[in-house]
Amino acid sequence: MSATNKSSGFRFSRIMTIASREFRHTVLTKGFIFGAILFPMLMFVVIGVMPFLISNDQVPVRGTIVVADSDGSVARAIEIAFAGYKKPKDAEKPSSATAISDVLSKSQRGDLQGLDALTDITTTVEVTVRRMSIDDDLAAIRDQVQSGELLALVEIPAVLLAADPPTDADISLLVPSNSPAKTTGLFARVARQATVAARVERTGTDLAKALSLVREPRAETARLTSTGEHAKENLELRFMIPGGFMMLMWIAAFTSANQLLTTTIEEKSSKVIEVLLSATSPLELLAGKILGQSFVSLLMLSTYGAAGIAGLAFLTMLDIVPLMSLVLFLFWFLLAYFMVAAIMAAVGSAVSDLREAQSLVQPAMIVMMVPLLLWLPISENPTGWLATITSFVPPIGPFVMVLRTTGAVEPIPPWQIGLALAVNGVSTVALVWIASRVFRIGVLMQGKPPTPMELLRWARTR
């Protein structure tokens, strides 16, 4: 068999046949179609419609709340706040920026101008406020809240309206057990804001002016690059975008590489691999299996990547990732995949079941977890010494470079990109070569699984 393989030579057509078989046997299965394609698409759809499903408009707020305070000022402020949302069903819902403002501008509303700035409500509500004194017996009211006859009971301690209220005094808000979380949050927010408004009114201070004085202005942050350009700072995107690209590469690479490990073990234990070796050489078989799973990885990468780009396009945020970063991302992905696939193929050929594979794969997985641990430090400083050094450390270098090229405000020096491509490229070739030497021996071995040192001896065997 060996002489036949050597005489026939290393044929690319056999490699492509094996790759096509590997691709079809992986992709054309219900598990892959649902797990790798339909399930992520379903998640994107659910995320897209979630804002509409949890919209405030879905559950109208109607009923009566009781407000108990010392002089009725807080109850009056809460009544004013909710009065702006008593609109007919067919009327257009007012915006949170104008609804209370229109109500409070009327003279009979007193001097509570500015409460609209404290309250941010977008739900059309129909709430009636009943005023009571904090000194009254509220036991019957609590029973009505418990039974659901009332929406809530708000108790405002008198000390909260003092000129110098104690810091440990709190508002008491009682709601029925089935009160929606959004409704409860709405009542708590309005009660807090109305208490502030009533307290300010007692001092004779203009609430609108006081709010404008204490309102914190937004800080438009920009980084001044080495070329003198202003790069707009977005802290959330600086961390999320690089992490998203790295996780995309991680999922696509490890899903296919793990599939390569599983299929190799299954074919070896079922003797199918001996049949394949009768028609091809171990090196051709290994190359075909790795190449076939690379097509699977590219399919997953295209599916997830297209969904991500569509999401950025929908949010008009395509400009946050330069085109060159996307091109480099493809190179980093290929290097990462072939490194991981080489390790998985070598391990799969050396063992007979998945339990034996775990002891050999675990050290490699620990190393591959390093980019996840370094995600935040590298995203925080993509041009720092930690990011620079780890860029040249295989097999984590491609993952680190993805974080750097997609998250850096200033461009990564070209020499670092070129050197990282060279170092990780040579490392990829070396790992594939080592995997091929382990594969040609381990694929026909049976019995006790080898140790890592034995695998190294196999790699040195000629």
252-267 pLDDT per residue, tens: 888 888 888 888 888 8
List beta partners, residue 52. Answer: none
d(CA 420, CA 116): 56
Domains of the chain: 2-42+234-460 (no CATH), 60-214 (3.40.190)
d(CA 408, CA 288): 37
How many degrees, rounded to 5, is the angle at CA 271 between CA 267 and CA 274? 95
Alpha helices in 315-442 (DSSP H): 323-350, 354-368, 370-373, 375-380, 385-390, 397-407, 414-442
User: What confidence tier does 94 reach under pLDDT thresholds 50, 70, 90?
Assistant: very low
User: What confidence tier does 1 reach under pLDDT thresholds 50, 70, 90?
Assistant: very low
The percentage of residues in the chain with a pLDDT greater than 90, rounded to a whole number, is: 16
For residue 347, pLDDT beyond 60: yes
* Pairing state between β 61-69 and 222-224: unpaired
**How high does pLDDT run on average in the chain?**
77
pLDDT for residue 97: 32
Instruction: Give mean pLDDT, residues 123-133.
Output: 81
Tell the burial category of 231 from Cβ atoms under 10 Å away from its Cβ (0-12, 13-18, 19+).
Answer: middle
pLDDT for residue 424: 94
* Pairing state between β 230-232 and 222-224: antiparallel
pLDDT for residue 315: 60
d(CA 198, CA 74): 6
pLDDT tens digits, residue range 185-203?
A: 888 888 888 888 888 878 8
428 in Cβ contact with 338 (< 8 Å): yes
Give the distance from CA 342 to its chain's centroid: 29
Spatial neighbors of 126 by CB under 8 A, at least 6 apart, are 60, 61, 62, 63, 85, 86
pLDDT for residue 192: 87
d(CA 157, CA 135): 10
**Other Cβ atoms closer than 10 A to 206:** 15
pLDDT for residue 367: 84
Select from 337, 369, 363 the least CA-distant residue to 260.
Answer: 337
pLDDT for residue 58: 54
366 in Cβ contact with 357 (< 8 Å): no
pLDDT tens digits, residue range 18-54?
A: 888 888 888 877 767 766 667 666 766 766 666 566 5
For residue 313, pLDDT beyond 80: no
E-strand spans in 73-218? 125-133, 152-155, 172-174
Q: Is the pTM of this model over 0.85?
A: no
pLDDT tens digits, residue range 369-393?
A: 888 888 888 887 888 899 899 999 9
pLDDT for residue 460: 75
| Ordered DSSP codes for 148-171 | TSSSEEEE--GGGGSSS--TT---
* Pairing state between β 61-69 and 125-133: parallel
d(CA 299, CA 305): 10
Strand order, beta sheet including 61-69: 125-133, 61-69, 152-155, 172-174
d(CA 433, CA 287): 10
Q: φ, ψ for residue 151 (rounded to 5)?
A: -75, -35
